Amino acid sequence: MLSYRHAYHAGNHADVLKHLILIQIGLYLAEKPAPFWIVDTHAGAGRYALESEHARKLGEYIDGIGRLWNEPNLPTAAVDYVETVKMLNPDGKLRHYPGSPWLAQKLLRDGDRLRLFEMHSTDSKLLIECFKGAGRQVNITVGDGFTGLKAVLPPPPRRGLVLIDPSYETKADYGAVVKGLQEALKRFATGTYALWYPMLAKLESHQLPDRLKALGAKDWLHATLEVKAPAKDGFGMHGSGMFIINPPWTLEKTLHETLPRLTELLAQGAGAKYTIESQSA
């Protein structure tokens, strides 16, 4: 079916959490000279025009990146995130929002590689156009990211990040991320995996973190950011979570320093809060 288009939601509060964490993991990987890969299983279009009809229809970026854009009092990790987004908006006006692939490429060095997967026919074409001229550093596959993981793991340098953020349009997506992670860990047990999920009234959404913990990874970090209380009618996304397997040892401290302020800035009503939990070997 593949009806989901991220263009409607680009730059919202969920993107803020996901992309802030993506950047922190990438910066950590780049601290060592050895090369690394970043694999994005559901890459989307690569970048988004916030003045487009899609983005303006819901205007979700206004209560996401829009609230941080000119905020002078930001934690260091939030500054890293906003400054990276500003690279796509050199005139200082918020007109474009980078997707995960665009942000990921900015974290790469000469020997690092980016592997992207996207199934949606329209978004995959936009993704290819986004990285036209990128050469061997970026490889794009039009197809299922979970299937594609089998071919790219483990990456040759044995260092890497796998970002997994499907649309969760159907119940099957929840099972697919658990199965996909389980199989990926067999191939590349030492890799870093960052899985995003929406916080919804659905049972599958509530159960997902426990299912991910049950995979048996020795080191994991789970962070959530809720911008409001769940709606009484059960509709809508009130927050999102990131479950990271084999996280950088610095990430938990960074999130403790960042999420309190981020929750204040992104709150859309009563019930805004964050959580951080972890396990280490």
| Residue 170 clears pLDDT 90, i.e. is over it | no
Does a structural domain hold residue 166?
Answer: yes
| Residue 51 clears pLDDT 80, i.e. is over it | yes
Q: What is the mean pLDDT of residues 236-246?
A: 96
Could you read off the pLDDT of 7-49 as tens digits, one per residue? 788 999 999 999 999 999 999 999 999 999 999 999 999 999 9
Q: What is the mean pLDDT of residues 139-145?
A: 95
Are 14 and 237 a contacting pair, CB within 8 Å?
yes
| Residue 1 clears pLDDT 60, i.e. is over it | no
CA distance 83 to 106: 11
The parent domain of residue 142 ranges over 6-279
Does a structural domain hold residue 51?
Answer: yes
Q: Match 């829009």 to its residue by tokens.
A: 66
Does a structural domain hold residue 57?
Answer: yes
The domain total for the chain is 1
Q: What are phi and psi of 243, to 5 degrees?
A: -110, 115
Does a structural domain hold residue 267?
Answer: yes
CATH number, residue 99? 3.40.50.150
CA distance 227 to 64: 10
Amino acid at 67: R
Does a structural domain hold residue 183?
Answer: yes
Q: What is the pLDDT of residue 61?
A: 94
Does a structural domain hold residue 1?
Answer: no
Does a structural domain hold residue 209?
Answer: yes
| Residue 3 clears pLDDT 90, i.e. is over it | no
CA distance 257 to 246: 20
Confidence of residue 137 (pLDDT cuts 50, 70, 90): very high
Q: Where are the alpha helices (DSSP H) in the chain?
A: 13-29, 53-58, 65-68, 76-86, 100-106, 121-130, 145-152, 171-187, 203-213, 251-266
Q: What are phi and psi of 160, to 5 degrees?
A: 175, 165
| Residue 241 clears pLDDT 80, i.e. is over it | yes
| Residue 4 clears pLDDT 90, i.e. is over it | no
**37-40 and 113-118 strand pairing:** parallel
Instruction: Give the max Cα distance, the chain.
Output: 51
Does a structural domain hold residue 219?
Answer: yes
- The percentage of the chain sitting over the pLDDT mark of 90, rounded to a whole number, equals 87
Q: What is the pLDDT of residue 7?
A: 73
Q: What is the pLDDT of residue 169?
A: 87
Q: What is the pTM of this model?
A: 0.96
Active site residues: 165
Could you read off the pLDDT of 78-124 as tens digits, one per residue? 999 999 999 999 999 999 999 999 999 999 999 999 999 999 989 99
